[in-house]
Structure 1
Amino acid sequence: MSTTLSDDLTRLSAVQMADRLADGAITSEQLTQAHLDRIVRLNPTLNAYLLVDPEGALATAREVDRARAAGEDLPRLAGVPVAVKDIACTEGMTTTAGSRMLADFVPPYDATIVTRIRDARMPILGKTNMDEFAMGSSTEHSAFGPTRNPWDLDRIPGGSGGGSSAAVAAYLAPLAVGSDTGGSIRQPAAVTGTVGTKPTYGAVSRYGVIALASSLDQIGPCARTVADAALLHEVLAGHDPMDSTSIDAPVPDVVGASGTTDLTGLRVGVVREISGEGFQAGVQARFDEALDQLRALGAEIVEVSCPHFGYAMAAYYLILPSEASSNLARYDAMRYGLRETPEGSPSAEQVMAASRDAGFGDEVKRRIILGTYALSSGYYDAYYGQAQKVRTLIARDFEAAFEQADVLVSPTSPTTAFALGDKTEDPMAMYLNDIATIPANLAGVPGMSIPSGTADEDSLPAGLQILAPAMQDQRLYAVGAALEARLRETQGGYVIEQAPEIEVRA
């Protein structure tokens, strides 16, 4: 496929786009149109976007161009396009959460993160595909069809935010917003060769974000470089009085940290419980090589033990379904969402049952049933209560580990991207993809995945996860930026640039 000027524009980093816009070398309208053209060409194959808004995106772009021409002082990312995971409410734009239940839902207001994106004067290209209500690790549980991985169209792009990761990896957006409940930003980043950050819990507002598990959900940036992710993180983060869990504290200097090149004196902890046995050989090999590069950058590598991490997945799959059962009870066919009316004179309960049966997919039903059972009389203390105790032990493991190390590292996902359909019939096999990412959500600490190279077995991307103490998000960006630059130098190029050109399918 020949390279066009539009393709050249889409292959710039967000930092480069912002610089060229500020210099007047390009316009936001040109940049936005270039992405829209690429979306038209490739989205039918990838299914990364559920909704594209060319009119709205171009209107914002033209407004930015007029303001810049008039000499207005604009935000750093003004005019740089962005995609938003279809879990955040967007006024006047359909918001589905990947579910038939909300197929026709048009919110009357914007989520806080969407308001902040609009205030940053960033054109919103559209809404990205996702596992239904963010339940999944492959984006195969979307009611609107799976998203495909740009590296291999027969493989998954991760989940639940596979639409955002695929859009960024395929140059259909320079930046995207994701949500991370148990790894749904970081795991997709790992398997698509991109960068994804889960900020500290409460650092980014969840107001207007459709809830899965309220004590675990966190919004964060998806990008192709650490510096790009830092710029979007800065836009999204900050206190919001509309969110009772929002942290009222200054946003850490993630943008400044993303310029770090030297890690001398930094203590990097390798978590014994989330590496080694059970991880794909190529993924582990790239992780071990990354540790060597961290040493070369001046970091001290220490091994730490987090003994309760082995119980994290079991605790997570009691806490998450329990909270999901509660949150999804609002979809009762009485107030909004899908309504199915059985024949005859059905009762309200019959309408509710028919609507929930038609509106929810199998994975959502599975988790609602599990969560309702765990919360039921006689079982609450035995299941949900015990899981919360394990959660406390995991948080204590983190506290002890961060006394020995400034950051912790592990592979992000145990394998590279698996084939579409491989694990849809085996929920436990699907759940194991989040084994390395879940502990951070249970403890509320920030995490980031950066590309660590490609695995020898299949030439597909692997990811390295960086974890930091709560409200120390800048450490993720410092370590990520330094290691990213080092790996680019030693591996002979940037991981995402090694991806094969997408073959457009009819």
Structure 2
Amino acid sequence: MTRRPPRAKLGGMDELCALDATDLAQRLRRREVSARDVVAAHLDRIDRVNPAINAIVTLDAEGALAAAAAADEAVARGAEPGPLHGLPIAFKDTHDTAGMRTTYGSPLLADYVPASDELIVERIQDAGAVRIGKTNVPEFAAGSHTFNTLFGTTRNPYDLGRSAGGSSGGAAAALAAGLTPIADGSDMGGSLRNPASFCNVVGFRPTPGRVPSHPTDNPWDTLGTSGPMGRTVADVALLLSVIAGPDPRSPIALETPGAAFRVPLERNLAGLRVAWSPTLGGLPVEPVVADVLAGAPAVFAELGCVVEEATPDLSDAEFVFRTLRANAFALQFGDRFDRRPELFKPALAWNIEVGRKLSGADVWQATTAWARTYRAAAAFFDSYDVLIAPVSQVPPFDVDEEYPEIIAGQDQHSYLDWMRSAYHVTVLGAPAISVPAGFTPDGLPVGLQIVTRPRSDLLTLQVAAAFEAATGHGRRRPPL
């Protein structure tokens, strides 16, 4: 038997693991490389690298190799490869996967094996992706630091002593470390954006309804949404093109087909009106983060944009988010908490108890305040096309801390406080993306948050792609 020559290594990383997902997908479609080779390369890297970062917590190497072989054989028989043909993916451990353990990071569900895939998983696999496992999350995805009692803590590939963010922290770390080329995630208070910022990848919270959810106990929910992650904006658009699109089981699903996002993202930004909000209306921001982002307005000016300092009215955002989140947590987790309170982390137990103290009037007031915020945002986006701001107010923090307790000299009293720059934007109901924006003097990644009018998801991607091309920060890989 003739031995195949070893594949090229890029900075110690197998070439197939270093390629952008869009490039890798094209090579797979042209049959320049097989799905078997791609999956095997990623499994090998997981074996070597994952123990250090703990991003992937459930792995089915045998099943993945069998699925890759079946994908190769189908194409050999003349089947048309899907847009994600042969790309390995580890699904977020809060997304149900048929026949594969889905724990939600909780000991209550340590042995839960769903009977069916949820919609986002189904769409990704139908597009040809190969399931290899699951990525780590905080308990019930609560919090922007990924740790739980089942699997432990996910570490940042750029500095193993730092947090990878959350709740899609395992997904972001896996992307940054070359363990997967694409990743799915979800975002209520920043869970796609924060880990992307911490791990120097791209995380996109689309307009609610763009990526429909099924099954779900609250199909009308617009506070949380699923979305794509990748190492480039084009990779994120590729994955969005698969997971977006209407579904009759979702009452808020937007009608635009996903294929509308499988287009070139190049766009002339000349004349675009950009609002720069360095503190989102007075939030504390660590100086090292502010320093990294200070050059962002100049980048947009050089791209021909008209840049001004401005902030939408977010005066009600804190009350809206904290009230509706607590109410949702009390309703969603209350019965489980009553049965086994000792199996809930203190922060989650506290959030449930806050929700239980709310009255119907509290929830109604938050709902009407949300309506005011949405109307104010609509008026703001009549004056500006784009809002740019920090994703996170801090750089990646010590991995052994639950959350940053002080930001720029101001105390943070709960696991939620430090996430305001992300969850205040959640309340706008707008598409928001985190794109790599640079590094602190210690080499820690910092992301820029780009926000546009609700339903203008393609514009968000185009603006992010232009910033990405002009700066190139996302090309820097971790020293693993």
Instruction: Give the conservation status (yes or no) of the 8 Å contact 1:193–1:463.
Output: yes
CA distance, structure 1, for counterparts of residue 302 and residue 156 of structure 2 = 33
Q: Normalising to structure 1: TM-score of the pair? A: 0.87
Return the letter of the residue paired with 1:297: L
SS of match in other structure, 1:410 = strand
Tell me how far 1:363 sits from its aligned partner: 2.2
CA distance, structure 2, for counterparts of residue 496 and residue 234 of structure 1 = 23
Tell me how far 1:408 sits from its aligned partner: 1.1
Distance 1:401 1:267, change over 3 A: same
Partner of 1:402: 381
Distance 1:425 1:476, change over 3 A: closer
Instruction: Give the conservation status (yes or no) of the 8 Å contact 2:84–2:124.
Output: no
What is the aligned-residue RMSD (CA, Å)? 2.3
Distance 1:424 1:414, change over 3 A: closer
Please say if 1:223 is aligned against 2:230.
yes
SS of match in other structure, 1:92 = coil
Deviation digits for residues 430-478 of structure 1 (CA, Å, limit 9, x no counterpart) = 323321111332232111000001023x221111011111211001110
Please say if 1:263 is aligned against 2:248.
no
CA distance, structure 2, for counterparts of residue 361 and residue 210 of structure 1 = 23
Partner of 2:3: none
CA distance, structure 2, for counterparts of residue 92 and residue 311 of structure 1 = 43
Gaps of 5+ in 1: 333-352, 489-493, 502-506
Return the letter of the residue paired with 1:414: Q
Q: Normalising to structure 2: TM-score of the pair? A: 0.91
CA distance, structure 2, for counterparts of residue 173 and residue 445 of structure 1 = 28
Correspondence for 2:298 among 275, 292, 301: 292
Return the letter of the residue paired with 1:466: I
Tell me how far 1:6 sits from its aligned partner: 6.5
CA distance, structure 2, for counterparts of residue 363 and residue 13 of structure 1 = 37
Tell me how far 1:330 sits from its aligned partner: 5.5
CA distance, structure 1, for counterparts of residue 81 and residue 387 of structure 2 = 37
Deviation digits for residues 368-396 of structure 1 (CA, Å, limit 9, x no counterpart) = 1111111xxxx331x33332232222212
Please say if 1:115 is aligned against 2:127.
no
Aligned residues: 466
Tell me how far 1:88 sits from its aligned partner: 0.9
Partner of 2:328: 323
Return the letter of the residue paired with 1:442: V
Q: Alignment identity in percent?
A: 35
Deviation digits for residues 52-95 of structure 1 (CA, Å, limit 9, x no counterpart) = 12122222211221122223221222111122111111111111
Instruction: Give the conservation status (yes or no) of the 8 Å contact 1:132–1:143.
Output: no
Please say if 1:370 is aligned against 2:354.
yes
Instruction: Give the conservation status (yes or no) of the 8 Å contact 1:110–1:208.
Output: no
Return the letter of the residue paired with 2:330: S
User: Structure 1 or 2: larger strand share?
Assistant: 2
Tell me how far 1:485 sits from its aligned partner: 0.5
Partner of 1:442: 427
Return the letter of the residue paired with 2:62: E
Correspondence for 1:91 among 92, 98, 108: 98
User: Is 224-233 or 76-85 further displaced after alignment?
Assistant: 76-85
Partner of 2:85: 78
Written as runs of structure 1 = structure 2, the 5 A alignment for 1:48-447 is: 48-141=55-148, 143-208=150-215, 214-251=221-258, 253-256=260-263, 258-260=265-267, 262-271=268-277, 274=280, 278-307=284-313, 309-329=314-334, 331=336, 353=338, 355-374=339-358, 379-381=359-361, 383-424=362-403, 428=413, 430-447=415-432
Distance 1:461 1:390, change over 3 A: same
CA distance, structure 2, for counterparts of residue 6 and residue 319 of structure 1 = 44
Partner of 1:348: none
Deviation digits for residues 159-182 of structure 1 (CA, Å, limit 9, x no counterpart) = 111111111111111111000011
CA distance, structure 1, for counterparts of residue 319 and residue 308 of structure 2 = 27
Deviation digits for residues 22-73 of structure 1 (CA, Å, limit 9, x no counterpart) = 2222111111111111112222221111211212222221122112222322
Instruction: Give the conservation status (yes or no) of the 8 Å contact 1:167–1:173.
Output: yes
Larger relative contact order, structure 1 or 2 (CA cutoff 8 Å, min sep 6): 1
Please say if 1:483 is aligned against 2:462.
no
Instruction: Give the conservation status (yes or no) of the 8 Å contact 1:10–1:174.
Output: yes
Return the letter of the residue paired with 2:309: E
Gaps of 5+ in 2: 1-7, 406-411
Distance 1:498 1:42, change over 3 A: closer
Tell me how far 1:321 sits from its aligned partner: 1.3
Distance 1:460 1:273, change over 3 A: closer
Please say if 1:495 is aligned against 2:480.
no
Return the letter of the residue paired with 2:44: D
User: Is 62-71 or 26-35 further displaced after alignment?
Assistant: 62-71
Deviation digits for residues 230-274 of structure 1 (CA, Å, limit 9, x no counterpart) = 0001111111122233223444833325233x3112111223651
Tell me how far 1:203 sits from its aligned partner: 1.1
SS of match in other structure, 2:373 = helix
